[in-house]
Amino acid sequence: MRRSFPAEDLARDGRFRRARMEDRFEDPRNELVPAGRRGGKLTPERPDAAHAARQLMHGIFVGEIQALEGAGRTVWDFDDDEAPFALKLDMARQCWDEARHTEISVKLGEWMGTEVGEFAETAFLYQAACNPDPVLRLTGVNRALEGLAIDVFNTMREFGLASGDPVLSFCEDWMLADEVTHVKMGSDWLRRLTEHDPERRERALEFQRVVDKLFSFRGFRGEADDNPIQLARTFRRMAGFADTEIDEIADLSEEPV
């Protein structure tokens, strides 16, 4: 069984279609959208609220599949010198969580009238999980991307509450609790594995910053009303993020890539 599994080889049936992150980021229409016409914070008041929520939910769904695949790779890809058995046990537990999240996401998609594969899938989450350094991989996935999941799930939870959707709000709240745990696992292992290697820790945190910046691009995530995804400060604190780290992520939404 190979130790490196590229994103192009991930198993998908005919319902799924892959899109490149570059195509989304470099969409020439992004520069032409008039000021004030952007989607804005995901609330029921948006005219396109249902469509935006369905599209975001499908993004969560494919993200959960990739998170399962990524955590699964981490269980296998490293020997005990590179990653302790206890870390792999945590990743196996995360696989269990992500598999459950995938199932929940499928059902939420059905609830919202979305078909599996209705929207294109970008494989960026899994690509971040391909980093050959287990510390960078954990930091990129469990701190940056699972941290994004905290923001996204909280946004969806609040959308469910505001729109009176009892199923969406309950399920997002339940999954949000797991994401807090996933981030904490990443934070704990980053600290333990780099306790005597500050350079490696800094490389890992820089990789995290790169990933965080990509998902704050063009104001996708932030704390302003025109950011579709809202930064979830309270839940990030519960997951072990310092206020200075959260402030840094908030500032990223204003920076060009």
Binding site for another protein (CB under 8 A): 17, 19, 23-24, 27, 29-30, 32-33, 37, 39, 44, 47-51, 54-55, 110-114, 117-120, 163-167
- Min dist CB 37 to another protein, Å, is 7
Q: Which is nearer to another protein, 115 or 243 (CB)?
A: 115
Q: Which is nearer to another protein, 42 or 152 (CB)?
A: 42
Contact 180, 245 (CB under 8 A): no
Q: Which of 209, 77, 105 is nearest to 147 (CA)?
A: 209
At 161, list the tokens: 């509450």
- Min dist CB 51 to another protein, Å, is 7
- Min dist CB 163 to another protein, Å, is 5
End-to-end CA distance of the chain: 37
Q: Which of 25, 43, 36, 78 is nearest to 163 (CA)?
A: 43
Q: Which is nearer to another protein, 49 or 238 (CB)?
A: 49
Radius of gyration from C-alpha coordinates of the chain: 18
Compute the C-alpha angle 161/249/39, nearest 5°: 50
At 117, list the tokens: 């594969």
- Min dist CB 161 to another protein, Å, is 12
- Min dist CB 19 to another protein, Å, is 6
- Min dist CB 172 to another protein, Å, is 15
Q: Which is nearer to another protein, 2 or 29 (CB)?
A: 29
Count of C-beta atoms within a 10 Å radius of residue 34: 6
Q: Tell me the C-alpha distance between 84 and 185, whole Å.
A: 13
Q: Which is nearer to another protein, 39 or 147 (CB)?
A: 39
Identify the DSSP state of 34. Answer: P
Q: Which is nearer to another protein, 127 or 163 (CB)?
A: 163
